[in-house]
Amino acid sequence: MGEIQYDQFLSDATICDPRSGCNLAPDALYGLYTSWCHVTCRAPRPEKVFWSAMQSRVTPHLNGLRMTGAAATDYILSTHPALV
């Protein structure tokens, strides 16, 4: 996956609002990424590769990120099947 596609993931699947107090935990961010890959028909990269790419893009904690879009829906429904 090219570096630009990680930027596309963040643009498509997250909203950044540091003042909101929201925080997307590392496990949830990687899970959202795998959902985004599923929705966009891309093969997810291993977690270690993902975090290497994210290192210059987001802070794992206190990042102000929230989920949005189709990947958020996929992630929420796949991690909380009782909601279906």
What integer is the mean pLDDT of 20-31? 90
Task: Give pLDDT, residue 39.
Answer: 97
What is the domain count for the chain? 1
Radius of gyration of the chain (CA): 12
What integer is the mean pLDDT of 41-63? 90
Task: Give pLDDT, residue 84.
Answer: 63
Distance of CA 65 to the CA centre of its chain: 9
Which structural domain, as residue segments, surrounds residue 58? 3-83
Percent of the chain with pLDDT over 70: 95
CATH number, domain containing residue 30: 1.10.10
Question: 0.85 cut: is pTM over it?
Answer: yes
SS (H, E, C) 35-76: HHHHHCCCCCCCHHHHHHHHCCCCCCCCCCEEECHHHHHHHH
- With a cut of 80, say whether residue 2 has pLDDT above it: no
Task: Give pLDDT, residue 73.
Answer: 95
